[in-house]
Structure 1
Amino acid sequence: MADGADLDPAERERWRLDTLREYRIMDTDREPAFDRVTKLVADLFDVPIALVSLVDDKRQWFKSSYGVNVPELPRNAGMCQFVVTDEQALVVTDPLVDARLRDNPLVTGEPFLRFYAGVPLRAYNGAILGTLCVIDRKERPAPDAREIERLEDFAAIIMAEAGLRRTVAERDEARHMLERALNFSGIATWQYDARTDRLSTQGAGAELWGSGFEATLATGNGFFDLVHPDDRAALRAILEESIANRTPYLAEYRVLNPERGVRWNAVRGDWDGQPGSATLTGVSIDITEQKSRQENANLLMRELHHRMRNLFATVSAIISLTRHAASDVDDYVERISSRLDALNRAQNVLLSANFMTGSMHALMREVEAAFPRIHWSGPDLLLPENALVAMALFFNELATNAAKHGALTGENGRVDVRWSQDEGDGEDRRFRLTWAESGGGREVVPPERTSFGTLLMERSVKNNLGGTIERHWEPGGLTVEIALPARWREA
């Protein structure tokens, strides 16, 4: 419940203390608004002491005190605790006969209190935060109902002032949080007066425009000094059109940030809703990262378009040339499928990386998955897209031929692939690879004619990679050696 009526005593006390903390008033400095009330109450009731007393879990602290100099007392030493506990006014005309108070040190010793009248300081939600009380050192008759009512009216004035402080504190805290959030988010808010050219900003100004931006951004003309020269004329035209037609001000522009270099900002503003208003209010947002991602996406799309064209050209050439080499339709389909599988292996490697380079080890794992008895070793290298496709086709032609005519036709046949790069960094440094078949169940002899597969391998190695290729038909199986310029860096 908002008023705490359904809470047990311990929970109700926690609720009361939480409400007291909301007001952010404990241990604050003295304030004239409160001191005027205690002085006025003391004069009105003709008492030497008047207090605005706030009670927390351990003490009663005096926000305003008239007639005493102590700032606080232990909670169990004063009389205000009973107002808080009973949640109603308390009047004591002779504490010496009150069982709760006769042994109180403020009664038995200085200042020898003999009269007390206190009313609750009631918060917006009904919680009792403390008291407004009047105290005398001599006995006096109890105040009548009208006097208690007056004291309660002054207590309401006290709480109205405290409520105003609470509202101001919450507003300042919210504004502070908003400013911090704006700073963290790279957003600045601003207001521009078109009649006076005055510009005010809040938020991430230093992040958007650089340190020392305040002096430059005091005016609209000063702002344009921070805009990239190539964007100033267009941005001025957009602002002038917005001023002339009272239309929203929307633009993206570059700024010359002295610490962060050229940055992209987006600005969104609109006019105050009052007729004839000359105040334009808006936000500026750093969109450099978004612009960078957009440029990268555009670059990637262009690169993908380029690579798709290359891929389609390669597929077209394979289809066309395979047609002349195939013996029948089934042979044609098989050859086409095999070479398209090789292209797919290359694309899988590229897709798993960055589309632009691929790992030699990743390619060999793809080849090994299709032809399990191929074993390989060598340093992992990063191959550009054209080299990766060429190597994929090269390995596919050799592996397919080994499965049909070479070592992989026998159960014990295998292929060992080894590669390395020469030491040093001279222009004659070479990448060297050996394909060695062994354990096949049949004699290996040179082919009677040059097949399309052979031409495809030579084109891949010589034309695409700028290397050399040698084939040796040894008794134990085919050996192929290639040498290329060592242009690939290690992964």
Structure 2
Amino acid sequence: MAAVRQYAVLDTPPESTFDHITSLAAELFGTPVALISIVAEDRVWFKSRHGMPMAQTSRDAGLCASAILQKRAWLLSDASSDPRALAHPLVTGDFGLRFYLGVPLTTADGCSLGTLCVMDHKPRSITKRQIASLNSLAAIVMDQLELRNAGRQAAMALAEAAAAKDKALRLTTLMANEIDHRVMNSLQLVSGLLSMQSRTPSDDDVPTQLKQAAGRVSAIARVHQHIYLSEGIEHADVAQYLQRVCDDLSIMLQATNRGSIEVSGAEVKLPTARIVAIGLIINELVTNATKYGAGKVAVRFADTATGYTLSVSDEGDGPPPDEILKPARGFGMKVITSLVSQLRGDLSVGRKDDGTGTQVTIAFPREIALPHMP
């Protein structure tokens, strides 16, 4: 039955190729009836019928259901005296069958789909050569069925490939739009940073200011580079992303001990628009902690009952927490404050739980609509 479903031949329209075969079989044997039958679960359906008015019959009323159980030709020379068919409806009924010869239509893996058979209303005797001829015709039937099955499978594979191509095209278009969107946001972010820095009073000379500006533009590039390494387009895993950013910072800042920046975080996926802000905050805080702090720098991201928290701590004495939050601390803190504002978050600075070092913590809600950086 699985093979019958696989070949999908049941209830298909008549085809001249099969009709030619049944016509040839009837002529070869001189019988009034020749059939190509397919045996289904509850019926015997005729793909081609020569001299048979019915399109199908029940399994109980069809001899083909018995013929497919054989490996070779199934012959009833005189059904009226053959114990295998004495009580069969085709023999006892109005049809008056007396002669039946059927050979199974067998797939390459040995499953019988149905038969090629010839019938007559009177007894007949046949030769081995005639049986061989019917077997040859049955082989032609199977060749045609295999050809159609292969064509259908190829069409299905082609349809799947076309669907996959369409999906890839849609994904490519989505990625292109997303990249355009990210590039536009990045340019706006760069413009906002430069504009903010131009309004910040500083005693630094122009080269120093340009160097600082270039460093922050480079940070934006690094942040986006690590986003593109993520599997998704619109979302990224925060813990994996922070690990990549901090590994990059560890090398770039030439920390005394490789791995002195320790990262831990909950497995949470956030929209990439929020990831950009988080990455730039980490860039500023870790750079400051490495520059002004001491010992190991710890980066933590946590999923809490009220939202998310992001913290960066070091093991140094550092300035008092109230001094860090003063605007006079410099442009870096203004950048952090602006990014925290984008996240609709709260910024706090204090000591670690053990009373040592400096810890900066940002708490922000789960769902927000991020505006562009001013």
Per-residue deviation at 1:151? 0.7
User: One-letter code of the match for 1:35?
Assistant: D
Where does residue 175 of structure 1 map in the other structure?
158
Per-residue deviation at 1:92? 1.0
Where does residue 151 of structure 1 map in the other structure?
134
Unaligned runs of 5+ in 1: 1-16, 188-284, 321-331, 371-379, 387-491
Q: Is the 8 A contact 1:345 1:367 kept in 2?
A: no
Per-residue deviation at 1:319? 9.3
Per-residue deviation at 1:333? 5.7
Per-residue deviation at 1:122? 1.2
Per-residue deviation at 1:30? 1.2
Where does residue 61 of structure 1 map in the other structure?
45
Where does residue 181 of structure 2 map in the other structure?
296
Check if 1:70 corresponds to 2:54.
Answer: yes
Deviations 1:311-351 (A, max 9, x none): 6668873999xxxxxxxxxxx96586453779777645544
CA distance in 1, matches of 2:16, 2:133: 20
Where does residue 426 of structure 1 map in the other structure?
none
Check if 1:162 corresponds to 2:47.
Answer: no
CA distance in 2, matches of 1:63, 1:73: 12
C-alpha distance 342-173 of structure 1, shift in aligned 2 (>3 A): same
Q: Is the 8 A contact 1:358 1:384 kept in 2?
A: no
Where does residue 366 of structure 1 map in the other structure?
347
CA distance in 2, matches of 1:368, 1:296: 34
CA distance in 2, matches of 1:384, 1:28: 61
Q: Could you say what secondary structure the match of 1:76 adopts?
A: coil
Aligned length: 244
Check if 1:37 corresponds to 2:21.
Answer: yes
Bigger radius of gyration: 1
Q: Could you say what secondary structure the match of 2:347 adopts?
A: helix
Identity %: 28
Q: Could you say what secondary structure the match of 1:130 adopts?
A: strand
Q: Is the 8 A contact 1:115 1:137 kept in 2?
A: yes
User: One-letter code of the match for 2:21?
Assistant: V
**1:82 aligns with one of 37, 52, 66:** 66
Where does residue 241 of structure 2 map in the other structure?
none
Residues 270-289 of structure 1 mapped to structure 2, 5 A cutoff = 287=173, 289=174
Q: Is the 8 A contact 1:319 1:336 kept in 2?
A: no
Q: Mean Cα displacement is larger for which, 344-353 or 148-157?
A: 344-353
Check if 1:95 corresponds to 2:79.
Answer: yes
CA distance in 2, matches of 1:131, 1:337: 90
CA distance in 1, matches of 2:203, 2:81: 114
Check if 1:139 corresponds to 2:120.
Answer: no
Q: Which has the higher strand share?
A: 1
Where does residue 100 of structure 2 map in the other structure?
116
Q: Is the 8 A contact 1:38 1:66 kept in 2?
A: yes
CA distance in 2, matches of 1:317, 1:35: 95
User: One-letter code of the match for 1:164?
Assistant: L
CA distance in 1, matches of 2:371, 2:169: 40
User: One-letter code of the match for 2:138?
Assistant: A
Deviations 1:13-49 (A, max 9, x none): xxxx122122221111111111111111111111111
Residues 77-476 of structure 1 mapped to structure 2, 5 A cutoff = 77-141=61-125, 143-186=126-169, 287=173, 289-309=174-194, 317=202, 337-339=324-326, 347-348=335-336, 350-351=338-339, 357=342, 359=344, 362=345, 365-367=346-348
C-alpha distance 92-300 of structure 1, shift in aligned 2 (>3 A): same
CA distance in 2, matches of 1:291, 1:51: 59
CA distance in 2, matches of 1:149, 1:130: 18
Q: Is the 8 A contact 1:24 1:169 kept in 2?
A: no
C-alpha distance 286-304 of structure 1, shift in aligned 2 (>3 A): closer
Give the number of the structure with larger relative contact order, counting CA–CA contacts within 8 Å between residues 6 or more apart: 2
Where does residue 3 of structure 1 map in the other structure?
none
Q: Is the 8 A contact 2:98 2:121 kept in 1?
A: yes
CA distance in 1, matches of 2:319, 2:149: 83
Q: Is the 8 A contact 1:345 1:366 kept in 2?
A: no
CA distance in 1, matches of 2:49, 2:168: 46
Q: Could you say what secondary structure the match of 1:113 adopts?
A: coil
CA distance in 2, matches of 1:338, 1:95: 105
CA distance in 2, matches of 1:75, 1:154: 24
Q: Is the 8 A contact 2:188 2:373 kept in 1?
A: no
Deviations 1:124-158 (A, max 9, x none): 322111111111111122x2222211110000011
Q: Could you say what secondary structure the match of 2:116 adopts?
A: strand
CA distance in 1, matches of 2:139, 2:71: 15
C-alpha distance 358-116 of structure 1, shift in aligned 2 (>3 A): closer
CA distance in 2, matches of 1:81, 1:343: 88
CA distance in 1, matches of 2:334, 2:60: 84
Q: Is the 8 A contact 1:42 1:134 kept in 2?
A: yes
Where does residue 220 of structure 1 map in the other structure?
none
